[in-house]
Structure 1
Amino acid sequence: MKPFQFYNKIKNFFIEIGELAYFAGRFFKEFFTRPFEFKELLRQCYTMGNRSLILVGVTGFILGLVFSLQTRPTLMKFGAESWMPSMVSISIIRELGPVIFALICAGKISSGIGAELGSMRVTEQIDAMEVSGTNPFKYLVVTRILAATLMLPLLIIFGDAIALFGSALVENLRGDVSFQLYFIKVFKALHFSDIIPATVKSFFFGFAIGLVGCFKGYNCEKGTVGVGEASNSAVVYTSMLLFIIDFIAVFVSDILFEI
């Protein structure tokens, strides 16, 4: 790669970061102004939650099964099978669950938003809304970002519960541990310092998923090729942003709870 081309890529990257920040600022500005699209917000919440529920549930169940099956032989070598519920619950609820389910939702929700808004931009439906006097940003963008922010924590909680059930099923079949005893150990091992950071960062995950998907779709280039690029780049950018948010959240939570 020539130095000039590398310079252009770096410059375009920072330009896009600035545009994304401006897009986020516009969201907060429109969020506090009337009219409030409650009906569309509820519809988006139902659509995102309903379409992702089965996928998150299946992923969580398999996560719990595989994690327990892979970990149990190692713990058996040290005679530490009794630590299985504590280890699985803390690992899934603190880190694995939020990150994995957020990545699953990024592929499902963010790409869907990017493709939907990109198609509307290409077919000039957004331009028609602007000409008719309505606010397309308020109706299309604000509702979707807010819906993703609200629904992702619920999906993560649901996925964590299914994952713990899958792990409990393995322990019940392989270790002859009752479901009641398993979940008693699970809740005994968990503390607020495990649950609160995971819940708080899930809201930021949802915001990132909705923001990047809407940004890519709303600013989609003309042509059908642009719709595919918007959908694909929404997933890539969201996945990178999720890892950055997760690193910051872990770093901040460690500092706060150490204090």
Structure 2
Amino acid sequence: MGTVKLLKQIDNAFFREVGEIAQFTARFFQTVTKPKQEWEEFINQCFWVGYKTLTLVGITAFIMGLVLTIQSRPTLVEFGAESLLPSMVSVSLVREISPVITALICAGKIGSGMGAELGSMRVTEQIDAMEVSGTNPFKYLVVTRVLASTVMVPILSSVGIAIGLCGGYLGVNIRGHISWNLFWHQAFEALSFGDLIPSLIKTFFFGFAIGIIGCYKGYNSKKGTEGVGQSATTAVIVASLVVFVLDLIAVQVTDLLGLT
């Protein structure tokens, strides 16, 4: 009986949180179109979300492209298909590796940052002070951050693809030799719009989910400073899980549409 009761409590807490996130998302869509738009804060958040994450994404993408090439080469050589290495690397990076890895990096850095920042503002009553002063804190704090993450995650993913291919070029030339022009020709020849478009579209959903969850956790933070830490931690966990779920859905949709 105790186990059943515990499971019911977990289920209730899960569905309650799903409902609250849905309400938070609906409030975002209700608020985003209302004047006035906080363009200055939006640009500032784009700088922090995009530029401040670019170095981490770039280094990770370069290493992933390099490691993927080095580890895949022996198998392709065994089957006499070493010439397919640039094509394999480009398709892998574009379809799956770069979008998902970039989203996970952003979930860890951006999601936790939003959760901690807004959580600190909530527990120190700065958000309440903004409401009293007549400022719309949801518009200023949440809408700008969600829009910034929605816009910047696809850009970071695209940059990550380019840098990852550079790492792949280096990996190919560690034990072999291929010219710069030939590598890029083979890499792009293997790609089609069925690879690029779904990859780009799903990164918008990744960015939106990361922004919504990070802001939700921080905006509704409780229990003082302890709650701030919990908001940052749970924002990363939930955002990462949602990224994987969205990726699974995107794969199923593209498969049904015949784009794979």
State the TM-score bracket (shorter-chain normalisation). Answer: over 0.9
Question: Partner residue of 1:203?
Answer: 204
Q: How does 1:8-87 map to 2 (within 5 A)?
A: 8-87=9-88
User: CA–CA distance in 1 between the matches of 2:89 and 2:29?
Assistant: 38
User: CA–CA distance in 2 between the matches of 1:133 and 1:52?
Assistant: 33
User: CA–CA distance in 1 between the matches of 2:223 and 2:122?
Assistant: 8
Q: 1:7 to 1:162 in 2, by over 3 A?
A: same
Question: Partner residue of 2:8?
Answer: 7
Q: How does 1:1-259 map to 2 (within 5 A)?
A: 2-257=3-258
Matched length: 259
Measured against aligned partners, the alpha-carbon deviations of 1:63-84 in whole angstroms (never above 9, x if no partner) come to 0110011010111111110010
User: CA–CA distance in 1 between the matches of 2:174 and 2:19?
Assistant: 53
User: CA–CA distance in 2 between the matches of 1:101 and 1:31?
Assistant: 25
Equivalent residue letter for 1:180? N
Measured against aligned partners, the alpha-carbon deviations of 1:13-33 in whole angstroms (never above 9, x if no partner) come to 000000000000000000010
1:172 and 1:179 in contact (8 A); partners too: no
Q: 1:165 to 1:258 in 2, by over 3 A?
A: closer
TM-score relative to the length of structure 1: 0.98
Identity %: 55
Residue segments in structure 2 that go unaligned for 5+ positions in a row: none
Measured against aligned partners, the alpha-carbon deviations of 1:86-130 in whole angstroms (never above 9, x if no partner) come to 111101100111011110111010000000000000100000000
Residue segments in structure 1 that go unaligned for 5+ positions in a row: none
User: CA–CA distance in 2 between the matches of 1:258 and 1:73?
Assistant: 29
Equivalent residue letter for 1:119? S
User: CA–CA distance in 2 between the matches of 1:234 and 1:109?
Assistant: 9
- What secondary structure is seen at the aligned counterpart in 2 of 1:154? helix
User: CA–CA distance in 1 between the matches of 2:247 and 2:71?
Assistant: 25
User: CA–CA distance in 2 between the matches of 1:207 and 1:258?
Assistant: 23
Measured against aligned partners, the alpha-carbon deviations of 1:129-165 in whole angstroms (never above 9, x if no partner) come to 0011110000000000000000000000011111100
Tell me which stretches of 4 or more aligned residues in structure 1 moved more than 4 Å.
none
User: CA–CA distance in 2 between the matches of 1:257 and 1:34?
Assistant: 41
User: CA–CA distance in 2 between the matches of 1:94 and 1:7?
Assistant: 39
TM-score relative to the length of structure 2: 0.98
Q: Please provide the CA RMSD for this pair.
A: 1.1
1:121 and 1:222 in contact (8 A); partners too: no
User: CA–CA distance in 1 between the matches of 2:259 and 2:231?
Assistant: 41
- Return the offset for 1:256: 1.6
User: CA–CA distance in 2 between the matches of 1:92 and 1:167?
Assistant: 10
Measured against aligned partners, the alpha-carbon deviations of 1:18-66 in whole angstroms (never above 9, x if no partner) come to 0000000000000010111111000000111111000000000100110
User: CA–CA distance in 2 between the matches of 1:113 and 1:216?
Assistant: 8
Q: 1:19 to 1:191 in 2, by over 3 A?
A: same
- Return the offset for 1:12: 0.8
